[in-house]
Amino acid sequence: MELIDRLRQGDEAAFRELFDSHHAMLVRLAMAYVKNASVAEEVAQDTWTAVIDALPSFEGRSALKTWIARIAINRAKTRAQRDGRQVPLDDEEPNSQDDRFNRIGAFRRTPVAFDNPEALLLNREVRVAIDKCLEGLPEQQRAIVTLRDIEGWSSEEVCNVLELSESNQRVLLHRGRGRLRAALEAVLGGRS
């Protein structure tokens, strides 16, 4: 039996499965819009309440997870508006890091090689830099990086949930990844 049918029949194990699969993602996604982790947790909780209420009307036109994520985004945006959170505009140009290039636009020196991801994540400074960089990203960039790179969603899923064109999503992802790369380079400098 499909998960959605089990949920509609009040199957608690099915709900637990759904919750365990998506709750952390909802909190991370909400963080793109609200000011801190505890508010994001509240948004995720509100999202579950809304999901439970709306289950009978879920028509299956989108995947369950994208439907849930869209509810979370709407709730997070409403909450951010209520809290008066100010975030940078998404069309803001990325830091072009001019000092890496010479006058004609060639690299002054070859970028350093980073360690492998597992080794990088053992470095507290790296984890702090990632968190801080994510915090500073404009909301759509952060939502896209969160869903594509942290949660492993496909480009199509992200475009659906954020109602973005493929090209717009790609540009914002490129910028977000660029900022995170720069944040890691700033921490690792020449010693990685």
Which residues contact other proteins (rule: CB under 8 A)?
7-10, 12, 15-16, 19-20, 23-24, 27, 41, 44-45, 48-49, 52-53, 55-56, 96, 101, 104-107, 109-118, 120-121, 126-127, 130, 145, 149-150, 152, 167, 170-171, 174, 177-178, 180-181, 184-185
Shortest distance, CB of residue 180 to other proteins, whole angstroms? Answer: 5
Question: In the complex, what is the shortest distance from the CB of residue 21 to other proteins, in angstroms, rounded to a whole number?
Answer: 10
Q: Compare residues 9 and 86 and give the one whose CB is closer to other proteins.
A: 9
Whose Cβ is closer to other proteins: residue 4's or residue 160's?
A: 4
Name which of 124, 117, 113, 39 is nearest 75 in CA terms.
Answer: 39
- Residue 101, phi then psi, degrees to nearest 5: -115, 150
> 45 or 78, CB closer to other proteins?
45
Question: Minimum distance from CB of 39 to other proteins (Å)?
Answer: 14
Largest CA distance in the chain: 66
Secondary structure class of 101 (helix, strand, coil)? strand
Amino acid at 56: P
Distant-in-sequence, close-in-space partners of 32: CB < 8 Å, separation ≥ 6: 76, 137, 139, 140, 142, 143, 146
**Of the two residues 84 and 191, which places its CB atom closer to other proteins in the complex?**
191
* CA distance linking residue 124 with residue 165, whole number of Å: 36
- Which of 17, 134, 22, 141 lies closest to 72, judged by CA? 22
Q: How far is the CB of 22 from other proteins (least distance, A)?
A: 9
- In the complex with other proteins, the residue whose CB is nearer, 2 or 81, is 2
